[in-house]
Chain A
Amino acid sequence: MKHDETAGMAHPLEDLVRMDRIPHIWCPGCGIGSVFTSCLTAVKQTNIPYNQFTMVSGIGCSGRGAGYINIDSFHTTHGRAIPFASGIKMARPDLNVIVFSGDGDLFAIGGNHFIHAARRNMDLTVICVNNLTYGMTGGQVAATTPFKARSSTTALGNPDTPFNLPLLAYASGATYVARWTMLHARDLADCIQEAILRRGFSFIEVLSPCPINYGRRNREKTLETLKKYHDNTIVKNGASPTELEVDFNKGVILGKFIDIEKPTCDEVYRRMYRPPEETTENRKSR
C-alpha cells in the first residue's frame, strides 16, 4: 500500500469482513455497504463472541451480505432467507440469527415467509435494505417502488401503491419495528444492537439509495438522495405504523415504532413439546 500512515494499521472491522472478497460488488454510491458497515458495527458493539452469530441472506444486491461477513453465514435461495433462518433458530436457539436482505427478496417473493415468521414471533433480527427497486436485475418495479416513480418496467411512472413495510410487520405480529436511513448510521447501529440483544421478531427497515437503477431513472444523484434523507425525514419514536408511508414530499418518519414483549416461537414450542424429562440428554442417560 502506498499510503505510509496506514502501514501496519487496519480498518477496525477487518476481523468481521472476508477481506479476500473485497472490493464487493456494490456500485459506487450504493448505500448497502453503509448499512452493512452499521450492521457489523452493531455486531461488534454487542460484545458477544462472533461464533454465536449467524447471518442469512436471500438473493439480490443486499443478499451478498452473507458472503462478505466473516462469521457463519448462509446465502439462500430467492425469498427464502427467513425459512432458513427459522430452521437455524429452531435447531440452535442459542445463536443470534440476523437476516440481512433486500426489499424484493423479503417482501415480494418472500412476503409470505415474512408475515408468518412475524406472526409466530421467531427470534430473528430482520434487516431489510429498502432501495425501492430491484437493483440487481435492472431496476424493475418492486413492491416498494413509490407511486409515480419511474422504473425500467414502468417508464411513465408506477401506477401502484407501495407497501408500508413497518405497518405490514406490525400487523403480522412483529414485536420490534424500526426504520432508519443509511445516513442515520449511528442510530441504525444502536438500533440493530438493541434488536440483536432482545428476544422476539425484530424488523428494521433501512432506506438506501440505488443510484444506478433507481436514481438514474428518477433524476436523482446519490448525494441528492442523501440530502433528501437528511432534510425530508422526521425522527419520531413511537409513531403509529399507519402514518409511515415513504413519501419524501410529506416527510418520511423514522425511529423505533414498536417494542413489545411476547414469548418467542422456539420458547413456546420447547415448553409445550419438549418438556424437561423428554430431552435427548435425559433419554441417553436413561
Chain B
Amino acid sequence: MKYWRVPLDSGEIQITRGRVHIIEDRCKGCGYCIEYCPREVLEFSKKFNAKGYHPPQVKNEDCLNCHYCELLCPEFAIYSEAAFGQ
C-alpha cells in the first residue's frame, strides 16, 4: 500500500505478521484463498497433491495473520498463525 506521505504515527503502529500453513493433501483446488487473500500472498503451485489438484503456495511474506483464508477454506486445509521477530 502506497501513501502520499509517511503517516505521522507510522513509528507507533504495530503491524501484525502471520505465517500461512497449507496442508496440501487436503486441498481440492477451489482457489478461494488465492482469489480472496487481501494481501495476495498465495498462488497456485505447479505441483500436484495426492488427489491431483494444484494446492496453493506462498509467494511472498506479506501475510498479516487476518485468518480469512482459514475461515473461507472449505477443506480445513489452510490456516495462519502469528509470526514474530520481523
Contact = CB atoms under 8 A, between A and B. Distances in A.
Contacts, number: 79
A239 interface: no
A120 B79 CA distance: 41
Nearest to A36: B74
Nearest to B79: A11
B32 A34 contact: yes
A73 interface: no
A26 to B, nearest CB: 6
Interface in A182-239: 182-183, 185-186, 189, 222-223, 226
B35 A37 contact: no
A58 interface: no
Interface string A41-83: 1000000000000000000000000000000000000000000
Contacts of B53: 28
A3 interface: yes
A83 B51 CA distance: 39
Contacts of A222: 30-31
14 contacts: A1-B23, A2-B24, A5-B21, A12-B70, A12-B79, A23-B75, A28-B28, A32-B74, A33-B74, A33-B75, A34-B74, A37-B70, A185-B68, A185-B72
Given A3-B24, A37-B71, A223-B31, 13 more contacts: A1-B23, A5-B19, A11-B76, A14-B76, A22-B26, A23-B75, A33-B73, A34-B74, A37-B70, A182-B72, A186-B68, A222-B30, A226-B32
